[in-house]
Structure formats: C-alpha cells, structure tokens
Amino acid sequence: MDPMHRTTSRPLTVGFDLDMTLIDSRPGIRACYQALAERTATHIDADLAVSRLGPPLAEELINWFPADRVDEVAELYRQMYPEYAIAPTLAMPGAREAISAVREAGGRAIVVTAKYAPNAKLHLAHLGIEPDAVIGGLWAEQKALALREHEAAVYVGDHVGDVRGARAADALSVAVAAGPCDATELRAAGADVVLTDLTEFPRWFSAYRSDGNAARA
C-alpha cells in the first residue's frame, strides 16, 4: 500500500527511532561503556562505539568480547545502564516539537528502537518526552513488525537500518542526517525524505498532511 494513500479513518501514527533521532545518548552510552570496560577489565574504545550507534548492542559488543561472552556482558551492560547513561543524555534539537507536531495534528507518536525497552522508557521519562507507545528490541526490518502493528504511516530515523525498517513496513521513510549516516547514505538506502534534523520536522509534517505527494524532499 502506498503510504501516501492510507485510510484516514484512524489517527495518523508516526514512528520515531530513539538514539540520535529523539535523543543524543552518546555521552551516556560513552560513560556506560567506560564503566563496563573497568568492570570487566576489557578494553573498549567508547568513542568509536558511540560513533556507530543504531544496531543492536550485541553487534557492538562482539568487537570487544568473545562471542561466548556477549550475552552475559550485554545483560551486565543493561543492568549498569540506568546508573551511567540516563542522566547525561540530552534530547535532540526539535525532539519535543516533533512529538508535539504529531499530537497537535490529532495523531499518535510511537517510538520503535533497537534499545532495551525499559532503558528506552527511562530516557524518555527523564527528558519529559511522552510518546503513545515504546517498543524496543527491534532493528532494521524487524521494526516493521511494530510499525505495521501500530499502522504507522511514517517512520523517522537516522540510520540506514531505519530506512529499511520503514520500507519493510510500507511506511514513508523520513530520515534525519543527525546520526552516523549522512544524507547521501540515507538517500541511497531509499529514504523518501531527508531532513537535517528534527527541527525541520514540524514544517515538513504540516506539508505532508496538507499534500503528501508535495511533501517528498
């Protein structure tokens, strides 16, 4: 189904990725990796790790730990995360305004992320961002499961994996070039719309609601 021609009998649902879309979690994740390195006596280049946020945690940990330890270390990381990663994390510019733009239009805003859902919810609560639903543990094409379940017409993310998830869900892919993937990569992956960051979202969303075909950029 063409996302521009979905039924309008239900409120428009817009999905958002979390890391580097709604929140800048790099300071917090860096701190958590540094603490994890100390706890496990294992070298982790935290700056390198936070430069490639997006994929599941296990895909990063395999760079620093033997495969047979990844599950164990991932669980430890998730346990440590609230102590080290929540407070330093900031909202991305325009994040609150983007959620508000959807709500003010009578729509629903959901978060679909690869992050462990309880920690994703802690971030959002700490920053006072209140989506209608938070679904965690989904990456790339897996995100289509939640996007389809919630009938999302649009999915906003910063990574080529988010573009793939939107396309798999037959949702309009709106990419923000605020994370590890630049505008060229995002367009090459098939993004329908590329914004510099979420500060541009309310204006784009207004145009999309008025005339979806004219809103492609």
pLDDT in tens, 70-122: 999 999 999 999 999 999 999 999 999 999 999 999 999 999 999 999 999 99
The arithmetic mean of pLDDT across residues 139-152, rounded, is 98
pTM attached to this predicted model: 0.92
Contact in structure between 202 and 98 (CB atoms under 8 Å): yes
pLDDT category, 212, cuts 50, 70, 90? low
Is residue 6 over pLDDT 80? no
What type of residue is 153? A
Average pLDDT of the chain, as a whole number: 94
Is residue 7 over pLDDT 60? no
Structure token pair of residue 152: 């999302």
Q: Strand, helix or coil at 162?
A: helix
